[in-house]
Amino acid sequence: MSEHARGSFHRPEADPFTERTPRVVAARHLTRRQGRDKAGRFLVEGAQAVREALAWKTGEVHELFVTATAADRNAELLQSASERGIRISEVTDKAATSLSETVTPQGLVAVCDAVPQPLDQALQGTPRLVAVLYGVSDPGNAGTVTRVADAAGADAVIFAGDTVDPHNGKCVRASTGSLFHLPIARSRDASEVFAACRAAGLKLVAADGHAKDDLVEASVKGDLKQPTAWVFGSEAHGLPDAVLAELDTSLKVPLYGAAESLNLATAAAVCLYASARDQRS
């Protein structure tokens, strides 16, 4: 490790932490949902995601674990963390691997506050565009939709019902830092989510491949200019009839070719960008 990188550590005289060091063991509990929920913290891996976490305004980074190799590659990032008073702990490669959920660990892991906010806080003000994920179990899809919502200028992403944890490692990686950019809320009570969206002045629109009306028709009518909460279901099962009955309307993405359907993240991108475009026109 370079002297510049080593100089940013709080414990330059100590040996690197191993996978058995108590703080590493405690951090490893955050790879499981139960551990994350109990601690109110989660893990973020990789330079880009950690950089976004350090710039986060509404939460705190508590500690960075870094290997010697990763420290040499990310000296500037570590210096920035050190200047913020964040504890930086050197770990062995084996310890870093124990904290990683990837095939090729990057050797840089941050312990961060949980991101979700209360529903009323996430929807405060006058939101124009919100993505609601209902019953989405695939973390890659959930993280990608979060990234898409961020790119489309959405005001919040809400995880409703029995949906994957936004702190799931794959979900965090798929969001590429977007979960630090916009309010995230979660509630197992979907009816509570829908009521909160309506109270915020949002029209609840289901993305449903079997809907009678499509996105293009709605755009022509000017319907997509309205403040909208798009509700997306799982890729495998879509939205249950009981949920569809609670929403204001349903729209489908028109398919002009021979494809049977679009995957969840692609459909979400089309829907969110259609609303974002019309709301800005």
Handedness of CA 105, 106, 107, 108 (dihedral sign): negative
Model pLDDT, residue 261 = 87
Do 78 and 134 have their domain in common? no
Kindly report, residue by residue over 29-61, the tens digit of the pLDDT.
Answer: 999 999 999 999 999 999 999 999 999 988 999
Domain end (from 113, 143, 173)? 113
Number of domains in the chain: 2
How far apart CA 90 and CA 10 sit, in angstroms, is 9
Please answer whether residues 145 and 115 qualify as being in contact, where contact means their C-beta atoms are separated by less than 8 angstroms: no
In this predicted structure, the answer to whether residue 11 has a pLDDT above a threshold of 60 is: no
Task: Give the distance, in angstroms, between the CA of residue 76 and the centroid of all CA atoms in the same chain.
Answer: 25
Same-domain check for residues 105 and 127: no
Same domain? 247 vs 150? yes
For residue 203, give the CATH number of its domain. 3.40.1280.10
In terms of domains, do 69 and 154 share one? no
Are 90 and 154 in the same domain?
A: no
* Domain termination site, one of 97, 113, 129: 113
pLDDT tens figures, 232-245: 999 888 899 999 99
Residues 146, 64 share a domain: no
Distances, alpha carbon 269 to alpha carbons 107, 183, 212, 262, 263, in Å = 32, 18, 20, 10, 10
Mean pLDDT for the stretch of residues 142-147? 97
Query: 143 and 91 in one domain?
Result: no
Same domain membership, residue 130 and residue 103:
no
The whole-model pTM stands at 0.91
58 shares its domain with 136: no
| Domain stop point among 113, 136, 158 | 113
Judge if 194 and 244 occupy the same domain. yes
Please tell me whether residues 123 and 109 are part of one structural domain: no
- Residues 16 and 94 occupy one common structural domain: yes
Helix axes 264-280, 139-151, angle to 10 degrees: 10
Q: How confident is the model at residue 218 (pLDDT cuts 50, 70, 90)?
A: very high
Tell me which residue of 79, 35, 39 sits closest to 60, measured CA to CA: 39
Residue range 112-137, pLDDT digits in tens = 999 999 999 999 999 999 999 999 99
Residue 104: the pLDDT is 87
Do 46 and 105 touch, CB atoms closer than 8 A?
no
User: Rounded to whole angstroms, how far apart are CA atoms 194 and 200?
Assistant: 10
- Which CATH number goes with the domain that contains 25? 3.30.1330.30
> What domain range includes position 243?
119-280
